[in-house]
Structure formats: structure tokens, C-alpha cells
Structure 1
Amino acid sequence: MGIVFAPLGLVLVFTAAITPQWREGQARLGMTGPGSLLRSGAKGHGMGVRSGSAETLLLLRSDGLWESCLQVEHSELKQCWPVAGPYQRDPRVRLAQGLVLTSLFLCGTGIVLACIGVRCWTDLPLRGVAATGGLLVVMAGLLSLTALGVYTHNLRRLGMVDPSQGINNHRFPHLSLRPAGSLYFGWLGSCLQVLGGSALLFSFKRPKCPTCPSCPELPVCPACRSCPEITNKPDTDVYEVTC
């Protein structure tokens, strides 16, 4: 369970980190007047409208931790750019970036330690190494959950100069923001990391080994050939049956 869930959680959190769909919103922008910039741009792409008509465009905006995108609905007009401005300088966005990067590093290190500790090619695992890897994976999941929680709680206020006014002013239309798909990938991956790390942390118990008759206080494992009374015992037992 731990060996499967931990890498799967790492892939999901990494996918969430590099995609720009942490939050998204829609805005309707009117194309009125013959000198409208959007009108002339739409004509340049074969989307011209009749003079004097009041047409609107639906703009789709999405933001991630490192990239933002803007697209016109039902068209191929889409542009992405690295995050900048107040959104990039927002301390909550910077905190989420640092937590996610730390989470990815810890989870990768934990998976490596878990693979070394489990040692599927041998009979006896390295329990301490596997448990350490599980602990790192659990910590990675908790860090990514913290980053997702901070971002989701402040989703509509991130990068806003004046939170009471949002981003509405005389230049931009109203943009309603909501959680997007990358957040759900992150939540699922973080939960899988916690579950997988917990499985690695608590599933390896010390095996119960027989004791040596000569030294009862000394446990003897099957891999250790230190007790002649046990190692020299024949593999077959003889039973006397009477009728």
C-alpha cells in the first residue's frame, strides 16, 4: 500500500504544481464602439462583428503557482505567462510555492528510502529505513495539505491590492474566481501521500523469532545460524502411532 500510494501521490502533487488551474474565473467583456481594441483584434482573427452591435466576449482566466493563462471562449486565442505583479508578490502565494517544493523533495527522498528499506528481493526488510521513508512521505503530504489549505482559504484575495474591491476597476470587468482542477489533484495526491507514508511507518513490525534452548534470553532468527539446537534439528518429525 505504501509503495503504491506514495509514488502516486507524488505524481498527482507534481501535476498540480506545474499546471495553471489552481483558480479560474470568467468575465464578459463588451465589444462596443468602432475603436474597440478587442473588436479590431477579433476582426484580425476572423471574428468580426457588425458595426454598432453590442457583442460580448467571454474571457477565461486561470492562475497557478507559477503560470497564468487567459483564453477567449470558443476560440483558439490563448496566452500564458509566468505569474507577475501583486499575485506573484503575495506572501501567501510565495508560502504555497515553498511548501509544495519542499513537499515534493521530501516525498521523493522518502520513496527512495522506502524502496531501500522494503528490500523486496530479500526475506528481511530494513524496518528502520522503511519507517523513516514513511515518515518523510507523511511530512510531505502534510506540507502539501497546508499549502492547499492556505491557497484555498485565500483564493479570492490572492494578488488583490484592495481586497474589498477585488479586481474591479475602470479597466477590468468583474471576474468571479473559484477553485479549479489542479487543486483537486493536489488534495487527492496529498491524501494518498499521508496514507501511503502511514502504511510504511506502521506496517513493519519486529518478527517473532524462536529462542535458543541453551540461551533463552537470546533470540534466534531464521537468517542467523547461531543456535545448534535449532539449526541442527531435522526437517522431519517422527510420530509414533499406536492402534
Structure 2
Amino acid sequence: MRTPSVMIVGLVLAPCGLLLNLVSTLTPCWRQVSGISGKPADVIYQQGLWDLCQETQSTRQRQCGLADDLGYFSQQPVQVAKGLMIPSLVVTAAGLVVAALGVRCWQEEPHYLLAGISGPIFFASGLMSLIPVSWYNHFLSALPAPSSSTLEVGYSLVLGYLGSCLELIGGFSLALSLHQGCKECRRRKASAKYPASSQRGPAKATSSLDLVQHSQKPVPRSFSNPLDVLEGERSDRPSLPCDSDL
């Protein structure tokens, strides 16, 4: 059986979101500070959740582990981002396990309900990462920084936005499997309430009656063409399925 498209979309986007959020959490570039007084023009500060770095663009020299003299790490947006980004990664990993068990590409049919449950898990992990990223971006200019400096959004913050959006879309796509799961449940309940054996009796009786009535009708004379008009269009080679799975 071909894997449903909603499951393929979810299983592709959710791991990509996990990877982007992991890079966003670990890299120290949520905010870039340039134009620092008393420093060369090509020196920029990169501030993340766990480390502060200084980079000289002309020489590509980088120094991390700088002292937090301005109290950057004690700010509430940074503390909230620390407290939510790591749980978001854990929840995403748990959602991948549930989704893998639900889709079960090695089985004949997927488990729709289990795959659909992984959708809200991914959606929750996307919200857990989107909230701190948006909060940090909102208070970007309010966080401590050297005087008369230029503040810019770092690439880690951009990756956090992208990873959160991918998890939200992937979770929504997998959650659509719940609809198919509900249909399967209703079909099983209907088959249990009305067994197939009870439906075959009347069907056979009706078909037998139709055969009797049909046999009483005179068979019209028809013309048969002895030539095979489809000769040359048939192929003895069996056709191969073009369906591809995940």
C-alpha cells in the first residue's frame, strides 16, 4: 500500500524542523551586535542562549566564552528560550517515534490513529519553540547591549523560525490521518454490527432469481466477427506497478 501523502509530508518536514531547531539552540548567534564603540568596525558580537562570541570579519578570527558584563543571560526572554527550546527538541523526538510506529512503512497498512496522534505532538513542539523565538525577537532591541551599537537578527533566530514553522506544518499534516482513522473505526464497527454472512443470503437469492428470469428471455441473434481486431495491440509482457512508497 502506498504511504498517504499527509504522512509523507509530516515525516519529511518534522525531522527537518528538529534539525533546524537543534542548530538554532546550540549556535551562539541569536543576535549580532556591530558598531561597538572602542572596537574596530569589523568586530561583531554574537549572542546566543549559552555563549557569547566575538568575531573579526577581516581576519575571520573568532573568540567565544566572553564574560557577560551586561547581564544578558539573566534577561527573561533568554531564560524562557533556554527553558523551552530543549523540551521542544525532546517532544519532537518523541513525536518522531510515535509517527514511525504509526506509519509503519514496512507493514501492509499504516496505523492511522497512531500516526494521527503524532501530529498534535509535533504541533505542540512547534509552538514550544515558536514562542521563545518570537518573544526574543520582540525584545531584541531591549536586551542589554553596548551603547551606540547596531543590533541585528542572527542566523540562529532565523533557523528557529523556520524549524518551528516546519514542525507546525508537519504536525498539521500528520493530524489529518485522524480522519482516515475515524473512518476505519466506523467501518470496523459497521462490519461487526452487520456481518458479511448475513448479507450474502439475500444477495444470492436475488442473483438466482435474476438468472431464472434471464433464462426465460429469448436470446437474440448476434453477428460475430472472426477477425481479431485487437491483434498487435496486446503485450505478453506483464506491466510493472509505477507506485513508489516512502
Q: TM-score, normalised by structure 2?
A: 0.68
> Can you give the 5+ residue segments of structure 2 that lack an aligned partner in the other structure?
1-8, 205-210, 223-246
Bigger mean CA offset, 202-211 vs 97-106: 202-211
Q: Which has the larger radius of gyration?
A: 2
**Structure 2 residue aligned with 1:47:** none
Answer whether contact 2:36 2:146 (CA < 8 A) is retained: no
Distance 1:188 1:198 in 2: 15
Please say if 1:127 is aligned against 2:135.
no
Q: Deviations over 1:95-125 (max 9, x none)?
A: 0111111111111101110100111122332
Partner amino acid for 1:25?
Answer: V
**Structure 1 residue aligned with 2:146:** 167
Match of 1:154 among 134, 139, 142: 139
Distance 2:74 2:38 in 1: 30
Please say if 1:2 is aligned against 2:10.
yes
Q: Deviations over 1:156-205 (max 9, x none)?
A: 222x2xxxxx532xxxxx22111111111111111110010111111341
- 1:56-205, aligned counterparts within 5 Å? 56-81=40-65, 84=68, 86-158=71-143, 160=144, 167-168=146-147, 174-204=148-178, 205=180
Equivalent pairs counted in the alignment come to 193
> Can you give the 5+ residue segments of structure 1 that lack an aligned partner in the other structure?
32-55, 161-165, 169-173, 221-225, 234-238
More strand by proportion, 1 or 2?
A: 1
Percent identical pairs in the alignment equals 32
Distance 1:83 1:140 in 2: 32
Distance 2:120 2:76 in 1: 28
**Structure 2 residue aligned with 1:20:** 28
Distance 1:122 1:227 in 2: 31
Aligned structure 1 segments of 4 or more residues deviating by more than 6 angstroms: 239-242
More helix by proportion, 1 or 2?
A: 2
Distance 1:83 1:133 in 2: 42
Aligned alpha-carbon RMSD (Å): 3.0
